[in-house]
Structure 1
Amino acid sequence: MCEFFAHRGPGRPGIAVFLNAGDPPLATLPDLAAMLDESQVDCLELAVPFPGSATDGPVVRASARRALAGGATFRRVLDAVSSVRPGLRRLRIALLTDWSHTVRGTAPADFAAAVRDAGCDGLLLHGVPPRLRAAHYEAVRRAELPLVTTCYAVSGPDAVAEAADLASAYVYLVAHYGRSGTAAALDRDRLGAVLGTLRSTASAPLAVGFGIRTADDIARVEALGADAAVVGSAGVARIERAGLLGRDPVKELHSFVQGLRAPVRTRTGRPEEGIETHDRP
């Protein structure tokens, strides 16, 4: 079983980058994944695109529409992952799938086996009806496919406990309620308290997402107790920008992810103590 965020440490939290498979086109995935691997990104959270997500903002929704228009189906996404996974050294791929659009109608065991056999390192199941969760989670466990679970900073104790108990890849803690790409203020006290609760029971790493755009944001959630940060809309926006300007999307995203490992500055302009600033080769 592949460990997620294995290279994290003090001053070097893990980083997961979210993208919709097919935006940029799937033919770009080999170069894109190689770039993320070489840039010491720990995880590519790769979504099989689906329309009308209630939790995504306009940037991610537009990305999903582009990917779907380009023909990014579940089978094509798995084939693309299968072709790139053997060449990766450190980058893990966590596949995000929506139950209604992608999973419904497929036997849980068959679905989990297909994701595993394609070479995905983990799976995040989105929107599974409560009555079917046990069957799907059991199928994922039997397939020995690490599971990403989610909860919110405002989730109740039972939801937080379930996320901690079931996670075998990582727990994705959503920093605030709303749609991705929104800029709600970070409630540090609440987020820190939930991270502390998760830390006491979870065996998997803890990753925080929503509103994470910069190296400073990543350092803040690490200081609250997170092992990693998930960067979504900000990176997806750079892909959109590359398309609008006719630029290479891999180079555009490379420039963005380099900034995520930039030295964190204090108000005096000096590097923050305890933050590693020379971790790229």
Structure 2
Amino acid sequence: MTTRIDSRFAALKAEGRSALVTFVMAGDPGYETSLAILKALPDAGADVIELGMPFSDPMADGPPIQAAGLRALKGGQTLRKTLDLVAAFRQGDRDTPIVLMGYYNPIYIYGVDRFLKDALDAGVDGLIVVDLPPEEDAELCLPALRAGLNFIRLATPTTDDRRLPTVLGNTSGFVYYVSVTGITGVATPDFDAVATAVARIKRHTELPVAVGFGVKTTEHARAVAEGADGVVVGSALVEAVRTTLDADGRATEKTVSTVTELVSSLAAGVRAARAIAAE
């Protein structure tokens, strides 16, 4: 079964360029603003959207994404409302792939079978669940794959050649390479090391490799895109939301446009890498 994720990466490969994968937190700072941001991302240049599922104990996330999740939870965001966001987005966009990213606890509480059915009905294409290792694939990964969802796994700088085949075993859609050790949005990646790591992963899989953690600027996006199939940006986008909020943490007239302007700039960096590669 070919998913929207498979189709989008295949189309971009035919174009000769990398994907811009944008992460935003569902419900941050409120449902309506979150939906407005979501709807605006494709026209701003996002090729794939990762939508964060807010959770109270996000152990892999740095301060910006933690804060975004807490803002969303404070605003009443739930997993059901996150699926509603996707369904609302799908009313106007049937093509842009959406990946839900987060932790297993909310899915477990919701109920795996119910969650998978509701996610498919809403228009979700894939899942990234950062606290379920391959040894726990029977919990969610295998049921998700059987249901027709991509299950995207993370590889890190500490994932050596002995561990990598296990990580890749049931991975589909793309591989998410974490370019730095530690939490999101803190360090800037070593771009030469990233290119080397991507090449190593590609020796083990035919899947596209997208690189995230620490990509903040147009220049970062261009540097990563020169060696990867996708560039993932998250912390910079949720920080763009935060910097526009009023004193009570509510959205302002600048919130959506500030995010989309940054996405457009990042997209320009990704597309510039194609131009460099073509010379």
Band the TM-score falls in, shorter-chain normalisation: 0.7 to 0.9
Secondary structure class of the residue paired with 2:85:
helix
Report the equivalent of 2:101: 96
Unaligned runs of 5+ in 2: none
Pairing of 1:131-280 with structure 2 (within 5 A)? 132-186=136-190, 188-189=192-193, 191-224=194-227, 226-244=228-246, 246-262=252-268, 274-275=275-276
**C-alpha separation between the residues in 2 aligned to 1:140 and 1:122?**
8
Unaligned runs of 5+ in 1: 265-270, 277-281
Q: Tell me the alpha carbon deviations over residues 219-275 of structure 1, each in whole angstroms, 9 at most, x when there is no partner.
A: 212223x101100111110000111483432111111111113368xxxxxx87834
User: Could you say what the CA RMSD is over the residues aligned between the two structures, in angstroms?
Assistant: 2.5
Contact 1:148 1:169 in 2 (8 A): yes
Higher relative contact order (CA 8 A, sep 6+): 2
CA drift of 1:194 comes to 2.5
Relative to structure 1, the CA distance from residue 251 to residue 129 in structure 2 (aligned partners, 3 Å threshold; closer, same or farther) is: same
Please say if 1:27 is aligned against 2:28.
no
CA drift of 1:12 comes to 3.2
CA drift of 1:106 comes to 5.0
CA drift of 1:182 comes to 0.7
Q: Tell me the alpha carbon deviations over residues 112-153 of structure 1, each in whole angstroms, 9 at most, x when there is no partner.
A: 222222111111122126653234211011101111111102
CA drift of 1:36 comes to 0.9
Contact 2:188 2:215 in 1 (8 A): no
Contact 1:150 1:174 in 2 (8 A): yes
Matched AA of 2:213: F
**C-alpha separation between the residues in 2 aligned to 1:41 and 1:164?**
25
Matched AA of 1:243: L
Kindly, what percent of the aligned residue pairs are identical?
29
**C-alpha separation between the residues in 1 aligned to 2:274 and 2:59?**
40
Pairing of 1:56-67 with structure 2 (within 5 A)? 56-67=61-72
**C-alpha separation between the residues in 2 aligned to 1:244 and 1:6?**
41
Contact 2:176 2:212 in 1 (8 A): yes
Relative to structure 1, the CA distance from residue 7 to residue 89 in structure 2 (aligned partners, 3 Å threshold; closer, same or farther) is: farther
Matched AA of 1:51: S
Report the equivalent of 1:48: 53
Relative to structure 1, the CA distance from residue 135 to residue 158 in structure 2 (aligned partners, 3 Å threshold; closer, same or farther) is: farther
TM-score by length of 1: 0.85
TM-score by length of 2: 0.86
Matched AA of 2:163: A
Structure 1 residue corresponding to 2:92, chosen from 87, 95, 98: 87
Contact 2:100 2:127 in 1 (8 A): yes
Contact 2:20 2:267 in 1 (8 A): no
Contact 1:46 1:96 in 2 (8 A): yes
**C-alpha separation between the residues in 1 aligned to 2:49 and 2:265?**
17
CA drift of 1:5 comes to 3.2
**C-alpha separation between the residues in 2 aligned to 1:210 and 1:60?**
11
Matched AA of 1:75: R
